[in-house]
Every structure is written in C-alpha cells, then in structure tokens.
Structure 1
Amino acid sequence: MQQEKSQRESVTTICPANWFGSRCQYKCHCRGNNCTSEGLCPLGCHEEWFGPECQYINVADGISEADDQGCNRVETIHSKLEVPFRLQTNFTWMRLRFKENIKTVNFKLLTTNDIWTPCSSSDILQIDDVTLDIFCQDTTNRSISKSVFIEVTAAVTLCSIYVSGGRNVALKASTEQSLIFSNETYDESFARSENSVDGNTSLEFKDKSCSRTKESKRARYEITFEELHTIHAYRLYASFCKFLTA
C-alpha cells in the first residue's frame, strides 16, 4: 500500500524545470537538459554523466558515446587498454559497451602511488547483449585510483566506457548551519544552508548557491540524509568570497 502511494506521489509531484523525483531531489543531466517528468532522457545523457537517470558522473577520460545508441567512437582491443580518469576517484563500478557480444573482462586499477591493484572481489552484470556493468566490491585494499587497465581474451570493439565518479547523495538533502551570514548588501537568503545542496557549483555568492555562517569559533554545517549511504568521496566547492567584507 505504501509502495503504491509512493508511486502515485512520484507521478503527481510537479517539480521545477530540470528537476524530478518524488521530492524533486534529482537534477536533470540529460543531453540538452531534455528530461521527461520521470527523469528519462530521450536524447541520452550529457557527455559527463551516465547510468540510471544519468545520475552518475563519468570520470573516464576516454571514449564514450553521448546518445549510447550508435558505435561511432570505437577502439579495438586486442588484449589490453588503459583508460585514465579525469578525476582521481575511489573506484566502485564502470560500464562498458561493445560492438560484439561479450561475457567477461578482467581489469586492474592504478592507484595514486602508481601501483597496479586487481580487484579481489568483483561482480559483472550483463545489462544487454553488448553492455556490461562491472563492480568492485573490494573494501580491504580500497584506495584512490587514477586509471583502469582493461584486459579481454579476444579482439573486440569497445564503443563506450564509463567509470563512475559517484552520485551526489547530498542533493536536496536536509541541512542545518550555525548563525547565517548577512550584511548590508546580502540578506540571509544568499547564505542559507540549503543553498549548498542545490547541485549548482557556482562560486558567485550573488547566485544564491553558497551557504555561509557568521564568523564564529564554533561554526557548524550539517547534512542529514533520508536513508543510509556508503560515502566514497567528498567534493567541496568553496570560495573565500573576499568581496563580502562589509
């Protein structure tokens, strides 16, 4: 009964442009910002995003296909291929899309101290005939990686590779902070705690996308999640905002 109610709410909720979800908690990352009310992407994901509803940032600095329908950008792998990351990341999973049907691949990770590390516990999920999702469940030797090394047993054509840099679980989360900053130029609406979880990375204070506390020895900022999450990385966008001096 509760599940049916949740599904109805997700359909009837009216969200602002480029937002979707039962609480309007997901931001559109579709190509051309062309999202349906359910978060589907008719034209595919923006080139830096992939996965379910395009909610996962792609850190692979290699071939990817924006609409993921064709196979225009290809690279034939005879046995090995190294793919560097745009951002160093705590590797959890990647998606590979081939031209041919393939069941399995092997891979190793290059850590920031230049050591190649195999994943001792990996799972491979076949999404369709040519798409594999590969998960690394190894938590004992977890470290930040900067490259992935893919090995296959036969010559195949790789059309796309996506490496997950994670999903922003702080988006639209509940927030609190100590006393809110304001001055003669900017009222409290420019510095509220919820501004920092709006998905906008602008450092311009006038854009109302930053939070700021009043000066204090015990300044505090807190995020509360709706459900439990395993946090693999924190990414903060901050500015000293020198122009705010009253």
Structure 2
Amino acid sequence: MDSTVYLKRPVRTQRLLFSFNRSFMVKEVEVFGGKNVALWKETSQSSTYENSSNYASDKAVDGWDSDHYFFNNTCIHTELRGDNPFWSVMLGDFYRILSVYISNREDRSERINGFTVHVKTASGEERLIYTDKQQSKRKDIWIDSSYMPNELVNEVIIRGDNINHEKIINLCEVYVLACIPSKNETSECTQLFPENCHPSFDKMSDNLACPACLSGWTGDYCDIKKEHRYCKYHKGRTIDNKGNCTRREHCLGEFRKSDGQCTSPKNQCEPGWMGPGCQYVNLAYRSSSSIASLDGSLNTSEQILEIQIEFNGSFIISALIIHGKQSNNVTIKTPKNETCYMGNIKEGSHIVFCNFILRTRSLFISFLKKQTVMEIEVFGGRNVALWKKTTQSSIYNNTLTSPDKAVDGWDSGGDLFNDSCTHTYEKHETNGPFWNVDLGSPYSIMSVRIANRNKYEQRINGFRLFGLNFTNLRQLMYTDPGNATSRSSVWVDSSIMTSSLYHTIIIDGEYLVKNESRYQILALCEVEVFACRLTENRGEDCVSFCPKNCQQTEKCLNKQFTCPNCNPGWKGPHCTQGNVFLF
C-alpha cells in the first residue's frame, strides 16, 4: 500500500536515512521536491534566433525538454552574439523557491557555461542567487536549495553576460520548483516554516528556523510545547510558581527587558491586544472579522475611504492607532457628532489622541482620500488585575482552582481542566460565594471582562460586581440580569463604571443561580480589569479622565469627563477653547 509521510518540519539535506524495525518490501521511495510553477507562465528573452517562433521564449516552459534535442522545435535560442542575452519567466504569484532545474541542449551544451540566475523579490529587487563556474558539457543542471533565497520570488531570470563568445542562450526547458504538500492535501507555496511557526514573517533563516512561534510553542523549530506562552509551571500557574511570567503575557515573541517592548516583527501582539508591551486591550478587534483592518493582523490590508467601528458596548475612548501605508488627513467622530480628532496622520503606525475623553459605542473614521490600512486599533485600557493578589470564599480542589487562576493572563479557552480557572467549593455558603482581586493601587476603572467556563455557563448568572474605594466602602458597580442561557464571557462596559477610584474589585455570588444540587458555584476562567489610558507623553494616567489642558489637580470623573478648572489660557467644558486674555 502507498503511504505518505510528512516530516515534522522542512529540512534542507543531501541525503535521507531510512530504517525499519523489521524487514520491509519496498517498491518505490519518492521524495517531494516541489511542483513546477513556471509551466506555461509568461516568458521573455532578449532576442529570438531568426525571429522564428520555433525558438521563442515560451518553448522553455512548455512541459517538454525534447530529450535535449534542439531540432524538435521545443528549445529556446537567442540571436548570435546578442548584447547581454537573458531569458526570464514571470511566475504570476510569489513563491518560496525550492530549486531550479535546467534541461540543456545536448549537442551544444557548453554554450551555457558561465550563466547566472537572478530572482525578483517582493520588494522588486533583482538578486543574484547563482553563478555557474563549470566548463564541462552538461545536459542537466540542477541548482539546489542551498542557493535559493530566503525571500518570496515572482520572477526567475537567466542571464548570459559571461557565457560563451557566441553569447547565445540555448535551453530546452526550465523548471522552477516550489510548493510542498501539506497534511490537508493542499500545497504550501509561500511558507516553509514549521507548522507551529507564527505566520507573520516573510523571510526565512538559512536553517529554516522560525523567528517566533505560535502561542504555546517554543524552540528554534517551534516543536517544543509550552504549557502557555513563555511561562513555566506545574499543574497550573499560581502567584507563587509563575516563574518567568511577566506582564507581557500577550507578546507573540520575546521582549526587551530594557524597555519592555515586544520584539516580533510586524505582528508584535496577539490579536485583540495592542500598545506598549501588548498590555492594552484593542476594542476594535473582531475575531471573526472579514474586514482586513479589524482582524488583528498587520499582514492584511484594505483600501478605505471611510469606516464605522462598532464596539461590544459603550467604552471610554481616548486614543487609537492607525497602521497605514500613506500620510493622509483623517476625521474621527462619534455618532453624536463629537469630534475625537481632525488632522493629519503619517505613514506607518500613527497614534491618534482624541481632543478629550469620550464614551461611545462606535467611531466613524473618514479619510480625505482612499487610505491603505493594515489595522485600526482602539485603546481600551490595560489589565491592572494581572498577577495581583486574589482571594475567594472557598477552593474546590486545592491549588488547581485557586483564586489566582483568574489573573494568570490565560482564559484557558474556558476549560476548567486546563488548570487555569477558579472554582469555589460545592457547598452552601452563608452569603454565597465570592472572589476578589486587590489591585494594589486605586484606579479609575474603564471596564471589566470576565471569561466564563465553557461548561455550566449559566452558573455565573446573577453575579454582582462591587468596588472598594479609598475608605474601603463597598460600592455596587453592576448587577447581572441573570437570564442568559449561555455565554463564554461577560464584558461589563464603561457605561456602568462609577465616578470613584477603586483598589479592589469583588465578584459576589450571593444571588447566583443554583445548580441541580441547590448549590451556588462561582467559576471564573479570567477576570480582566481595564484601566489606565495612554497619554501623549507616552506615559499613563490611571486615575484621571481629564483633557490635556485641564489642571493636574482635577480628576474629571463625571459622566462627560468635563474639567472643573482649565489651565491658564484655556476654557470650555473640555478646555479646548484657547486664546483667553489674561490680565
């Protein structure tokens, strides 16, 4: 029977060693070397011998090398002593080239000696990849993978500047081999990285190693499974054994300890996260979006004249990032016609700060002219609960469902048995179960997101959210209606956030629905408390929602974020009106 074996990762080698655990009858061993992506593609050459169609450039991609016999009229031939002779093939798309095989004319095979092979990469640059140094007669020339470039290629060129004195390029077939088979019975023609490598890289290394792995994998070839990102733990992470976990839970690759910035090229953050250290939630992200500018990837783009971004509720907005390919003029407004920003943005990643703090369910963005946009990201605050001190009323199973599992930076996909969710003990508790997190400092809370368990989801119905202020007064922030049938998460948005600063957040289960045994159980897979807005000096403000021209002593924690006292020279509710005469 036939059997296809897929290697764990692509390798570049001169031999393969096969060994069997018993004697084995083998009919044939075939090793995939790629498919010919040059076949019947568009070609050109510097000249054609006698202007005859018998020797035209497309003869080298017609699928037949005529057994190296020139007079079968399926080989190319340029004019005698032509200046700078060449032959090229446009591949029609970008490919990761594996090798190039040239079928030569047999009776004049020495004519090709000294040829060079060039390619054109995605940047449009022409690169020399091979220089022939042979002086012998050869029917076949196979330029192997060791010469192939690490970039994607869309054109292959054979030049004859240094060939025989007749300056003739005379070939019978050129095969450009690319594409490897994948397990899903399709061909992979652009990536040769291991299967767990992150897909945001264009260039390979010489040893085919991966620049950055998908979440949960590590090693040069992403073949070592990590429990989660770059955090080591045994039977679940806890506040005590988190090892080298950091606040940079959402970096796709490593980060510089000097400034805490994620270092992966292009997509530095996991989809849904943004900003310095990938610590800020991106309110614009849509996991299933077909809109390229909202899909969490900087590898996709679209042409936009205007776009409306809908949020999952009403959120406090103060800044966003537009990743664009041109400079342009942009206007950003809310449905209430409040202007967040009107002005110029630069090419690349441009941070836009609103004129004042807004609370809105959507933003309308319009450009003066069509803009190529890779991504639009809207700051929704930093998770200030990450790895903070937690407590809960009871623990169902020792450390496996301890309260710190809800602030470990991973929602475990809602699976309790991934050892990253909390769970109170299944018994009657006097005032119902509870869970809380001590934030360590007082914050102006922007929103709270709770990742629910993916089984028995209704158990969270009826929870209440409280905050402790600086006097330790317990204030009710939100009461869950308690009528949901199934939900993977609950995002308590900015519309319910009060005007107080809180140092502790409490999830109270006194009015939770009861299970079939008449017990109330509180199970949380992650609790993210979002606060802190980015400021124009690249710092943070975690307690105030004041506009930039408001006096620093103010907090502006009212519903409209208006300023009671503006800086000298400014006036208006948001201190946006200048040129006040001072005497």
Tell me the TM-score normalised to structure 1 length: 0.66
**SS state of the match for residue 382, structure 2?**
coil
Alpha-carbon distance in structure 2 between the residues aligned to 1:156 and 1:168? 32
Work out which of the residue numbers 384, 403, 409 in structure 2 matches 1:193: 403
- How big is each residue's C-alpha offset from its partner over 1:62-85, in whole Å with a ceiling of 9 and x where there is no partner? 3348674x7x513142xx322334
Structure 2 gap segments, 5+ residues each: 1-227, 232-243, 460-514, 520-583
When residues 95 and 28 of structure 1 are mapped into structure 2, their CA distance, relative to the original with a 3 A threshold, is same
CA deviation after TM superposition for structure 1 residue 197, in Å? 0.7
When residues 156 and 206 of structure 1 are mapped into structure 2, their CA distance, relative to the original with a 3 A threshold, is closer
Match of 1:133 in 2: 351
- How big is each residue's C-alpha offset from its partner over 1:26-53, in whole Å with a ceiling of 9 and x where there is no partner? 143233xx22363523232233322112
- How big is each residue's C-alpha offset from its partner over 1:78-112, in whole Å with a ceiling of 9 and x where there is no partner? xx322334x3351423211222223x522123xxx
Match of 2:418 in 1: 207
Match of 1:50 in 2: 274
The higher radius of gyration belongs to 2
Asked if the contact 1:195–1:210 (Cα under 8 Å) also holds between the matched residues in 2, the reply is yes
- Aligned pairs for 1:98-109 within 5 A: 98-102=324-328, 105-109=330-334
CA deviation after TM superposition for structure 1 residue 190, in Å? 2.1
Match of 1:97 in 2: 323
Q: Does 1:26 align with 2:26?
A: no
Match of 2:292 in 1: 63
Structure 1 gap segments, 5+ residues each: 1-15, 110-115
Asked if the contact 2:320–2:378 (Cα under 8 Å) also holds between the matched residues in 1, the reply is yes
**SS state of the match for residue 381, structure 2?**
coil
Asked if the contact 1:90–1:232 (Cα under 8 Å) also holds between the matched residues in 2, the reply is yes
**SS state of the match for residue 46, structure 1?**
coil
- How big is each residue's C-alpha offset from its partner over 1:103-145, in whole Å with a ceiling of 9 and x where there is no partner? x522123xxxxxx12445669897x654332334755x634x1
- Aligned pairs for 1:1-246 within 5 A: 18=230, 24-31=245-252, 34-36=253-255, 38=257, 39-43=261-265, 44-60=268-284, 61=286, 62-64=291-293, 68=298, 73-77=301-305, 80-85=306-311, 87-88=312-313, 90-92=315-317, 93-102=319-328, 105-109=330-334, 116-119=335-338, 129-136=347-354, 138=356, 142-143=359-360, 145=361, 147-178=362-393, 180-182=394-396, 187-202=397-412, 203-214=414-425, 215-218=428-431, 219-239=433-453, 240=456
When residues 36 and 138 of structure 1 are mapped into structure 2, their CA distance, relative to the original with a 3 A threshold, is closer
Identity %: 22
Alpha-carbon distance in structure 2 between the residues aligned to 1:99 and 1:217? 60
Across the aligned residues of Structure 1 and Structure 2, the Cα RMSD in angstroms comes to 3.6
Asked if the contact 1:75–1:159 (Cα under 8 Å) also holds between the matched residues in 2, the reply is no
Match of 1:5 in 2: none
**SS state of the match for residue 40, structure 1?**
coil
Match of 2:15 in 1: none
Asked if the contact 1:125–1:133 (Cα under 8 Å) also holds between the matched residues in 2, the reply is no
Asked if the contact 2:269–2:278 (Cα under 8 Å) also holds between the matched residues in 1, the reply is yes
Alpha-carbon distance in structure 2 between the residues aligned to 1:154 and 1:54? 30
- Tell me the matched-pair count: 205
Alpha-carbon distance in structure 2 between the residues aligned to 1:123 and 1:227? 35
Which residue type is aligned with residue 97 of structure 1? H
Alpha-carbon distance in structure 2 between the residues aligned to 1:223 and 1:192? 12
